[in-house]
């Protein structure tokens, strides 16, 4: 009896490329629409709080919800194949402590930089020109000249030499100010954060544009503020806990310093908090990055990142090391 010959069901030896679908998880349907048309990409929608959709375990690229609270670690446990977490914010303090080993974290650098820098400069100009007093007079239908100051020949210390900080520095220099950039490590045009105490006495304006880390938490404390000259302006467009609220409140209450705050600690600022009642502070409710164009810029970045990841190319905005 002749042996039975079974057909060879293995793929031809010349076939080497097998298409593997890339699963991306996004928080909203609008995000899925923004990724429409990407080849070999499966997009799932999950806001990380509702029940997980079928297939979420295949997720390799996660777009985190913008301005969200820190998710429970078991949310990420549902994605055993996860390789990338992409944020739409420049700050990573909420997510970084829970990023699993081996997973790449990328931030939204460039998405909010322009609008946040604009708000910082707007806050500086509003403070120098005493615009809140003018607004109060307008409400009272009262015409009374209000003296003001300008940026010409002022020294502006910008804490943070990233996208936001550099834009602030460039903007104030247009008006004749002298900007000094400060970052964790020194380089050609940037002073080291370790040297900041030596710089404070010579700067009338300080702009905080640093990430929140163990090193920067409460950086702007009572000794820091005491080293500033009388009449100095403190601008915080970064994260509230970088500034010691009680120390700042003491200086504002005395009238020695003034401030423009887009972020506070605590945040949201409670209704009865004393920061609301001091006269020499302008407070905005964390709106620096929330202008109309941010979502368009953000999803353009996400689409480019997904395309890079699918092709095996290096990602932009990767957060690593001491940050």
Exactly one of 286, 296, 303, 308 is catalytic; which is it? 286
Alpha helices in the chain (DSSP H): 29-34, 73-77, 113-128, 131-139, 163-174, 222-226, 245-254, 294-311
Which residue, chain included where needed, has tokens 């090193």? 215
**Chain CA centroid to CA 190, Å:** 20
**286 part of the active site:** yes
CA 27 to chain centre: 18
- Cross-strand bridge partners of residue 208: 159, 236
Angle subtended at Cα 116 by Cα 213 and Cα 291, rounded to the nearest 5 degrees: 125
Catalytic residue among 96, 112, 184, 239: 239
CA–CA distance, 78 with 51 (Å, rounded to integer): 11
Whether 273 is catalytic is: no
Residue 164 CA to residue 173 CA, distance in Å, equals 14
Burial of 260 (0-12, 13-18, 19+ CB in 10 A): buried
Query: Are the CB atoms for 196 and 225 separated by under 8 Å?
Result: no
Q: Please give the positions annotated as active site.
A: 239, 286
């Amino acid at each position: 009896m002749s042996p039975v010959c079974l057909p060879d069901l293995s793929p031809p030896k010349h076939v080497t490329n097998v298409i593997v679908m890339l699963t991306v998880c996004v928080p909203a349907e609008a995000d899925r629409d923004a990724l429409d048309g990407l080849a070999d990409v499966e997009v799932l929608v999950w806001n990380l709080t509702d029940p997980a959709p079928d297939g979420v375990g295949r997720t390799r690229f996660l777009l985190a919800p913008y301005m969200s609270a820190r998710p429970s670690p078991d949310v990420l446990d549902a994605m055993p194949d996860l390789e990338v977490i992409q944020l739409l914010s420049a700050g990573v303090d909420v997510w970084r402590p829970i990023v699993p080993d081996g997973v790449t974290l990328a931030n939204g650098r460039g998405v909010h930089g322009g609008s946040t820098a604009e708000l910082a400069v707007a806050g500086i100009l509003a403070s120098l020109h005493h615009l809140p007093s003018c607004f109060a007079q307008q409400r009272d239908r009262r015409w009374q000249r209000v003296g003001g100051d300008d940026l010409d020949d002022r020294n502006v210390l910008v804490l943070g030499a990233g996208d936001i900080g550099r834009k602030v520095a460039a903007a104030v220099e247009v008006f004749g100010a002298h900007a000094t950039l400060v970052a964790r490590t020194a380089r050609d045009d940037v002073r080291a954060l370790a040297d900041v105490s030596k710089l404070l006495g010579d700067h009338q304006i300080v702009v905080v544009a640093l990430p929140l880390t163990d090193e920067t938490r409460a950086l702007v404390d009572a000794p820091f503020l005491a080293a500033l000259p009388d009449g100095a302006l403190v601008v915080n467009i970064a994260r509230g806990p970088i500034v010691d609220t009680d120390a700042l409140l003491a200086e504002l209450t005395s009238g020695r310093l003034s401030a423009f705050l887009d972020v506070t600690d605590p945040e949201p600022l409670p209704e009865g908090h004393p920061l609301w009642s001091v006269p020499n502070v302008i407070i905005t409710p964390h709106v620096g990055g929330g202008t109309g164009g941010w979502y368009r810029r953000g999803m353009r970045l996400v689409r480019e990142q997904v395309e890079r990841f699918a092709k095996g190319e290096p990602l932009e905005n990767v957060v690593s090391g001491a940050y």
